[in-house]
Structure 1
């Protein structure tokens, strides 16, 4: 079954597409922090400006500035300037004396603004310091897509920034992201919509992306009603690196395979595919084509490398399905190719695994539905390969959801980074126990730092091998 083209939507299908697009917009806005539209009362004043490419910037400076400037990189969504992860974090940081700044990125292109974000952040730093003077210390902070921007700043910012704090960062980069998402989408299309042509890449419009999201989500919803369908949903979830722990639920037991699948289905039912397809459309806009492919992928080998393989095998056995046959079908019909120029552009603009110039502390929730925690494993391997492993520390919060950090967890991580920058040593400041003590001592909104080792990211190919 070709998985790249389909006839134009009928009027009925267009209505479905528009409904899915509304779901996509809701998903984007609820997954990301709200833009900083108004100055915080804890700030002495709000500074604003516009950069040469049309990007806007904002800065908040407290009355008693402690000399540290935090440069915040916001996540995927509307290109509106933000200078903190959440309003509550902004208020607390200003109360502690930090100055805050951040840019919108270039508003004239895709929301996947990686071709301008790093440049705009450095330009914002120049503009703000021209107004308030040279900081004693500058630290970069980034969240989600902004976590990838933040990793780029940590890679290139020596002499301009002193350290970086990443939150739920998309640090594996755009091509890894699009590839493992393609594997999940392709699995749903091939196994749950047999005989149908489903457009999975090279979307012409946002409505096309929304139509695909609606079609795939509908297939998953229908499949959840049978054991065979649930087994195949689990297979797609494994390729998506989707956590088996959803909001408002207790974590399923280690061998509660059906319970795990039910909570993976929760994520699908909440509209994750609308976010995935909308993100793909934005990335393709930004990089000039499709940067994902599955031709040559061995899906049996891909599943074997997933931490969720035991769950998938158990559910297939219980359903009386032949897993090997499904994996052969996926492998034999995997024909999607990438646009080499788009892959090169994504590698240049939308990756950050080439090393570090300054210390970087990354924090991640253990059950992140949009940016899987396994991305930290992929990123750490690249940093170590570059010889910069000593500059990187990673910390984990036991919680469901994307960027679902408390204010206390964020501030404690910032203080741990400051210890590394100030002393030249991490010591034990970034260990789970130390971060938990530090966060709890703030008396704010609680913390859940835990020892954790993320599994390998299930992706199965490298951007260098198109």
Structure 2
């Protein structure tokens, strides 16, 4: 297997936590009515669904409807195998779908619809649960936010895990800024294709070329400064797995850890994701024509690091920013932008309480997305329904089982009592997680910075009509 393919496979399986605790099977239920049941089925669009129902007398009455992340379109009903087993042991019923298997892995065109259809199919077999909570991870966190917006009367509360809550167009725009910066500054004279991929092979070729450019640039002070600039636009954290967090003024150490993320195949995953999203929305939904790259950097929390590394390298930062602004020429397909707004955005309102969890150093879905999402919810007048909590750890969706269960319990508290109280505070979540005696917890007080994206927040418009 080529090195690039191996790296991408590792990133898919490990960083995105896409291993399903169960996959759809031919059987429809275990035969004995007094045992736990494993149910399966197929929806009208070909999506499969699975459900695990505790044995009678052991079900606590709550059904968790799980929305999985970007990757293979296989039915999943929990964020990990360990969480699956722990939640079942506590008496929760678990259900989830694959989404439509005939489309793109960026399955936002069908995911919310398929999740509601799964809920209907499961409850037709089990009867109405006492309570239904939506849970979503990564791309499924965006699905989860849509369900929290549209699911009045269907779900009672929601838990988002490392959710891509600002949606598809914000994601593609800030990723484009980083890719363009690498291409323009580290590959002068070349014009690698950055958008409008016709095949996965085209996306992979661009990822390989950009990754090679970053690897070569890391060997010089000038290259490292320009990598830091691209990483600022990509919102890459300066804390990588297996490493100690650099000191606040250790600019070189911070850049080295950002480079570590990029060297692990991050660009391969990004370009593959772009191909999938373009396939889903019918074209390129991102643009950089008219972006002022100096203003974009000025608003980034990473700006001090970039300026310091440029000074140390003796580089003219203003000249690079001027060149970036002058050369920005990518335009979006208006129809693709509209389709992404229809299917792949959230935050325009909440119908039920939502608790969002995020690690503080997430390389795939930057924690800063939570800030922009909260602004949208606030603009819709629904801040009282939203709580956000943070775990001090490196990695995407890198939650312990204890952290996940404590968050589920906090959402249940909000649904039962009608108020959050302190249940979703860092201290309360940390105590609750540690009291479970499982695999530890690292909830901390934290406030993310602004997302570096530099475009008007058009997704803050009124919510699209519900699609169920």
Q: TM-score range by the shorter chain?
A: over 0.9
TM-score of the superposed pair, with normalisation by structure 1: 0.94
Matches within 5 A, 1:102-181: 102-181=96-175
Give the counterpart of 2:47 among 44, 49, 55: 55
Match of 2:8 in 1: 24
Deviation of 1:353 after TM superposition, in Å, equals 1.7
- Is 1:443 matched up with 2:428? no
Give the counterpart of 2:21 among 32, 36, 61: 36
Contact 2:12–2:18, Cα closer than 8 Å, also in 1: no
Supply the distance in 1 between the matched residues of 2:454 and 2:279 (Cα, whole angstroms): 24
Match of 1:384 in 2: 378
Deviation of 1:197 after TM superposition, in Å, equals 1.2
Contact 2:17–2:80, Cα closer than 8 Å, also in 1: no
Distance 1:115 1:272, change over 3 A: same
Supply the distance in 2 between the matched residues of 1:121 and 1:407 (Cα, whole angstroms): 23
Contact 1:172–1:352, Cα closer than 8 Å, also in 2: yes
TM-score of the superposed pair, with normalisation by structure 2: 0.94
Supply the distance in 1 between the matched residues of 2:264 and 2:145 (Cα, whole angstroms): 29
Contact 1:24–1:210, Cα closer than 8 Å, also in 2: no
Aligned pair count reads: 449
Deviation of 1:24 after TM superposition, in Å, equals 2.7
Supply the distance in 1 between the matched residues of 2:406 and 2:322 (Cα, whole angstroms): 48
Match of 2:450 in 1: 456
Deviation of 1:373 after TM superposition, in Å, equals 0.1
- Is 1:81 matched up with 2:75? yes
Deviation of 1:250 after TM superposition, in Å, equals 0.4
- Is 1:67 matched up with 2:54? no
- Is 1:342 matched up with 2:327? no
Match of 1:261 in 2: 255
Supply the distance in 2 between the matched residues of 1:26 and 1:453 (Cα, whole angstroms): 30
Contact 1:412–1:435, Cα closer than 8 Å, also in 2: yes
Give the counterpart of 2:239 among 236, 239, 245: 245
Contact 2:356–2:389, Cα closer than 8 Å, also in 1: yes
Matches within 5 A, 1:314-329: 314-329=308-323
Contact 2:64–2:92, Cα closer than 8 Å, also in 1: yes
Contact 1:21–1:206, Cα closer than 8 Å, also in 2: no
Contact 2:106–2:280, Cα closer than 8 Å, also in 1: yes
Supply the distance in 2 between the matched residues of 1:261 and 1:26 (Cα, whole angstroms): 23
Supply the distance in 2 between the matched residues of 1:250 and 1:37 (Cα, whole angstroms): 35
Deviation of 1:136 after TM superposition, in Å, equals 0.2
Structure 1 counterpart SS, 2:36: strand
- Is 1:404 matched up with 2:407? no
- Is 1:362 matched up with 2:373? no
Supply the distance in 2 between the matched residues of 1:464 and 1:448 (Cα, whole angstroms): 34
Deviation of 1:21 after TM superposition, in Å, equals 4.5
- Superposed CA offset, 1:319-358 (max 9, x none): 0000000000000000000000000000000001210000
Supply the distance in 2 between the matched residues of 1:79 and 1:463 (Cα, whole angstroms): 30
Deviation of 1:462 after TM superposition, in Å, equals 2.8
Supply the distance in 1 between the matched residues of 2:10 and 2:333 (Cα, whole angstroms): 30
Deviation of 1:45 after TM superposition, in Å, equals 2.0
Supply the distance in 2 between the matched residues of 1:29 and 1:445 (Cα, whole angstroms): 21
Deviation of 1:463 after TM superposition, in Å, equals 6.0
Structure 2 counterpart SS, 1:270: helix
Matches within 5 A, 1:163-312: 163-312=157-306
Contact 1:432–1:450, Cα closer than 8 Å, also in 2: yes
Distance 1:25 1:205, change over 3 A: farther
Match of 2:368 in 1: 374
Structure 2 counterpart SS, 1:149: helix
Contact 1:20–1:213, Cα closer than 8 Å, also in 2: no
Deviation of 1:62 after TM superposition, in Å, equals 1.0
Supply the distance in 2 between the matched residues of 1:258 and 1:265 (Cα, whole angstroms): 10
RMSD of the TM alignment (CA)?
1.6
Deviation of 1:22 after TM superposition, in Å, equals 4.8
- Superposed CA offset, 1:264-311 (max 9, x none): 000011010001000000000000000000000000000000000000
25-34 vs 132-141, greater mean Cα deviation: 25-34
Match of 2:327 in 1: 333
